[in-house]
Chain A
Amino acid sequence: MMATSKATILAVTFTVSCAVLYAVCTELNLPLVTYHPVIGEIDFLWKPERRGPAMYWYGWMLTSLIGATIIASMATLIPENWLQRIITFAAAAAVAYLIVYSLALFVYEKATVELEWLKWRWLSAAVAFVLAAVVSLLMPIAWNERVWPGWTWAVPAGALAVLGYYLVPYFTR
């Protein structure tokens, strides 16, 4: 089995990182530009609406495009097995955080005493970090030799699930 070509590494890493960055930019509202469609003007970074609604979607895409291009370019410089480990760790950390934080909120809701610390996001993030590190270390060496092509659908599907979750209020009003 041959090593993955640089072009494929670049493309795969771009797709994976851009999907993650897009979800992050959307949820944290980090647009590179703000477009005002009524007056046809563009502002740099986030700006509030002026005479009509403001559009941030183009800005979120630009932020994630630039970020993903930088990450993908850097990915071609590191050994492939390390790239696979990094993506595995990041994916495991994201899933672990989702599970740990959901469990913490569930316990908080059901508890008969006040357990405020269960709502601390950083605590769930720290636990997720440790779990992801363990998962990455226990991963068979053979699984880390090459970048798994399946990341290109698994990560964007996960990003889409997160983006969809934040749109639920539109359907429950």
Chain B
Amino acid sequence: MIFWTSLLIVHGLLAVALLGAITHQAVALWWPARVQSASFVARFRAVPGISYVWAIIVLYVVTFIMGAWIYTQYRYTSRLALEQLRFFKTVGAFEIKEHVATIGLILLPAYWAFWRRPLSADYADARKQITLFLAILVWANFLIGHIVNNARGFGS
């Protein structure tokens, strides 16, 4: 049990790092800082999005692999308990998480292609769209993960 709990915590920490990176990139892309300012928000918006690309891809893949590994344990322990307790909404939420995670993974090749150096002006809109979509998926999965974990998570 300690092993799986440790894995879940590492998975969660990686997800936090991914969430930070993709949010940073999406905000810098959709709401770029026009003037230099020392404020936290302006600095948050002023980061060069391209420097986050490989970090996001690697973090996504590693977080996904860890999640897929933990899923095996969830499937025959937590999920069975949730079904017996008739927590169908929680089980359904996890099913959504499973699909959202896969669709996010599927996006990565296109995400990489649009962010390839040198950045093509032809894909400026595509970069914004796919980054925002990926950010929405990562946020959705992060929140769903929390909800599911609250139902049958650490120490249960």
Contact = CB atoms under 8 A, between A and B. Distances in A.
Contacts of B72: 35, 37, 55
A69 to B, nearest CB: 10
Interface residues of B, number: 37
A19 B92 contact: no
Contacts of B75: 37, 53, 55
Nearest to A168: B92
Given A53-B75, A149-B126, A167-B95, A11 B88 contact: no
Nearest to B80: A53
B110 interface: yes
B95 A153 contact: no
B106 interface: yes
Nearest to A65: B106
Contacts of A38: 76
A160 B107 CA distance: 12
B96 to A, nearest CB: 6
A52 B113 contact: no
Interface string A41-60: 00000000000110101100
**By DSSP majority rule, is chain A's interface helix, strand, loop, or mixed?**
helix
Interface residues of A, number: 40
A152 B79 CA distance: 33
Contact of A164 (B68, B96, B123, B129): B96
Nearest to B106: A18
Nearest to A164: B96
Contacts of A100: none
A61 interface: yes
Contact of B107 (A57, A150, A152): A152
Given A11-B113, A167-B95, A159 B129 contact: no
6 contacts: A2-B122, A8-B113, A14-B109, A149-B126, A167-B99, A171-B92
Given A53-B79, A149-B130, A163-B96, 18 more contacts: A1-B122, A2-B122, A7-B116, A8-B116, A11-B109, A14-B110, A53-B80, A55-B72, A57-B71, A149-B126, A150-B126, A152-B107, A159-B103, A164-B96, A167-B92, A167-B95, A171-B89, A171-B92
8 tightest CB-CB pairs across the interface, nearest first?
A170-B92, A149-B126, A11-B113, A152-B110, A15-B110, A11-B109, A37-B72, A153-B133
